[in-house]
A and B are shown apart, each in its own frame.
Chain A
Amino acid sequence: MAEKKIARSKITRRSFLAGAVAAPAAFSIVPAHVLGGPDAPSETFGAALIGVGSRGPSTFKELSSRHGLNVRKLAECDVRWVGKADNKTKYTDFRRVLERKDIDIVAIATPPNWHALISIAAMEAGKDVMCEKPMTHAISEGRAVINASKRYGRVFQIGTYGRFGIARSDGNRQLRKLLRAGFAKGREVRYVRRGGFKVKQWSGPVKVAPQAPPDWLDWDMYCGPSPVKPYQSPRFGGMHRGYWDYEGGGLCDMGQHALDPITYLLGKDHTAPVEIETHGPPAHPEATGMWGWSKLKYADGLELVLESGEWGEPTGLKKVMMGADDLTEQERARLAKLPDPEPLIGFGEAVKTRKQPGGHAEAAHRTVCLIHLTNISLRVGRKIRFDPVTEQIVGDEQANRLVNQPMRGPWRL
């Protein structure tokens, strides 16, 4: 038995496939159970971590600790390893990592301006993706990630898990079912989320002298699709969250955590709000700053209110929810005929069964859109209207230029 386990542990999914394709195989994806059943503990996945900064090691560790995957770390990549990379286990260029045929799973923990490009390239290379939050840097990037996931049948999971906890409750699942079916229409339904956005903490400092980038840092690669600006130390290593070029402030840092369970509960992870108004001071061109509240209204009238609790006066609005008791008899009959929400599966199970996990690309995209739309409304300083189907802002060309932000060449979606 011990001997068998050792033998299996030497097999990665790809090395198995390499043998399998010698035969005239008709399959396109080999289910993991071929290697010895879905629970086979010895099934080993080759894995890589791209972005090894403060968050990266935890992200990678979760592949095994949270998702129960037996992974072997074959490569790490970080732009801070100039002169140290051996291009065998340590890389500075993610493209060299994605070329490797022995890697099945890629964990991405770079700053968010890189998330979409690396996620897409990884899925094009046939890897499954675990990507840190926030999923993207701009709205247009999300659809491209979703399309890549669908096109190649790759698993994508965002690195936040609030919805898994919420979905355990039968009451929450029933509320999701009710709200997703559109029963909020014509009723007052409002969800208010107060605090926890670290707005001040991740506001970018403006008073910083530029300096030469450290010689161990590939500054051009770090900036990637974003404009290359003179190096200022807070732009790198955590405080990057405070600059529009790489992230979008505390809301981008914490928002996907806060809103992931909410979009599940409200049944809004397949659509987007149609009207968004954010209250705050005028935004700075480089550094993210303060905001007080944001009101996001969906087509069915359901309102989501975010309050930072860190700037200006609160809205004074209260949470108003509904339940099956508020429905008419006819509505209850209609609701009863609708299917219950499907149970969410984790990344580990998704990788093994080739199903999409609970935090799949569409759900992650619809959640991060709330963050991006709030920031766009803040940055243009006015109420905006959004079309959830075309994913464009309606009647405001300037605001639309923040939906699809041109990338610095040669990078493109």
Chain B
Amino acid sequence: MPAPKNIEQLVNELPELDKRGKVDGPTREVGYKLFDALLAAGGAGVAGVVAMIHEVDDGADYKARYALRGMTMRAGSPGQGKQRAKLAGALCEQLGKNLPVTTKNFLLGELQFVAGAESVGTLGGALGDETLFDRAMAALLAIGGDAVAAQFRGELAGATGRRRVAIVTGLGELKDKAAISELRKAVGAGETKVAAMCALANLGDAGSADLLLKAAAAATEFERIKATSACLLLAEACAAAGDKSTARRIYRRLHDTCGGPDEQHVRAAAADGLKG
């Protein structure tokens, strides 16, 4: 659907690219006036700008992309809660339309900076789409919180390959205690082993100490580097949480087992931990 005339006119007020195809920009004052006018047009304004975005980003539609970014930053200013939610809602609505994947990914990139709790359901829905997964993940991680973690948990069962690893990683970043049981299982699966170990370390899950130590002992090459790192991180997290006993157990095991010339730095870190 073409953009309404007034929206198109507003967007086209933005200056042309310079002769090298670079953005020289309007002044902030001029830009803000324009972006605010587009925001004031509500859902129709957003739809109008989105309609001007082409499938291929070759610069021909630069004004529309630039305008939408301006709207995102204006609506996300502190104290603009209603405006922010309104823009996020309008962008989520556009995600449901029959738009090119490239356009949807661009919109997800904007949602990363403007979406809040109200958008979690829509963004979670995009996790199942391989072509939208990465940008939806980024937007959800930017929002954070329990509702996002629940979306990740819901997606974990059906996800495979790189998507599964990314979700495991995301659950660790969100420190999602409800995922501990699934994460422990994921330590046993080859593709998610290291990601799950890091996630459990991030969670500071003392109950996973033996599992992580055992997994690290069995790991080789780069996987071993990351696995021992996860063990050290877990020990630090346990110590910081006051669980000195678990921390010392991890440090002791690493100190005693990382004796090779290429792991002296791990042994030294463990020795430092034992002193602390």
Contacts and interface: CB of A to CB of B under 8 A. Distances in A.
Contacts of A21: 259-261, 264
B53 to A, nearest CB: 11
A385 to B, nearest CB: 10
Nearest to A223: B134
A14 B57 contact: no
Contact of A284 (B23, B106, B170, B262): B23
B99 to A, nearest CB: 16
Given A99-B221, A283-B69, A230 B166 contact: no
A57 interface: no
B76 interface: yes
B185 interface: no
Interface in A332-353: none
Interface in A178-229: 200, 203-210, 227-229
Nearest to B68: A285
A280 B109 contact: no
B62 A207 contact: yes
Interface residues of A, number: 64
Contacts of B24: 281, 289-290
Interface string A95-128: 1101101000000000000000000010111100
Contacts of B35: 282
B156 to A, nearest CB: 13
A53 interface: no
Q: Is the interface of A mostly helix, strand, loop or mixed?
A: loop
Given A17-B261, A204-B22, A227-B109, A409 B65 contact: no
B208 interface: no
Q: Is the interface of B mostly helix, strand, loop or mixed?
A: helix
A410 B59 contact: no
A412 interface: yes
B77 A227 contact: no
A401 interface: yes
A330 interface: no
A282 B58 CA distance: 20
A153 interface: yes
A208 B77 CA distance: 31
Interface stretch (B37-45, B89-97, B210-218, B266-274): B266-274
Interface stretch (A130-138, A356-364, A376-384): A376-384
Interface of B: 17, 20-28, 31-32, 35, 56-60, 62, 65-66, 68-70, 73-74, 76-78, 102, 105-106, 109-110, 112-114, 134-135, 137-138, 141-142, 162-163, 165-167, 169-170, 172-173, 195, 198, 221-222, 225-226, 228-229, 232, 236, 259-269, 271
